Amino acid sequence: MDNKTNIHELKEIVNKFVEDRDWGKFHSPKELSIGIITEASELLEKFRFKSDKEIEELLNSPNKKEEISEEIADVLYFLLRFSHLYDIDLSTAMKDKIKKNELRYPIEKSKGSNKKYNEL
């Protein structure tokens, strides 16, 4: 369904959800940022202290994958809400950030360069 839904639609879904519940008063930049990090931490908790094999098993389990998907959706919810309220175009922001990262991490200097990680 990702290929049939755009970011604007998702922002509108989140916005309606919030407006229907009158939760806007709780959505300052600080509170939304706290929501992002809290939900990201809950996602991280699913993988903490797990081996690569255990993580693979998690992602192959329909129930566990659903739990992981829900945590990812919670992070996305707060990102969409923040960007909607403060007029941040996520597509433009992402494209601009990738362009900056391409300059910062050119392929010829970056590809396969993480020797420390590869040795683990």
- Any idea what the CATH number is for the domain that residue 19 is in? 1.10.287.1080
Instruction: Supply φ then ψ for residue 86, to 5 degrees.
Output: -110, 25
| Structure-model confidence comparison of residues 95 and 2, the more confident one | 95
Q: Answer yes or no: is pLDDT of 40 > 90.
A: yes
Number of domains in the chain: 1
Answer yes or no: is 112 within a domain.
Answer: no
Could you list the residue range(s) of the whole structural domain that residue 83 is in? 2-89
Q: How many CA atoms lie within 13 A of 41 on its CB side?
A: 6
58 contact partners, CB below 8 Å, separation of at least 6: 46, 47, 50, 64, 65, 68
Q: Note the pTM of the prediction, 2 decimals.
A: 0.86
Cα separation, 120 vs 113, in Å, equals: 14
pLDDT digits (tens, 9 = 90+) for 8-25: 999 999 999 999 999 999
pLDDT of residue 116: 56
Nearest CA-CA partner of 12 in 94, 81, 105, 71? 81
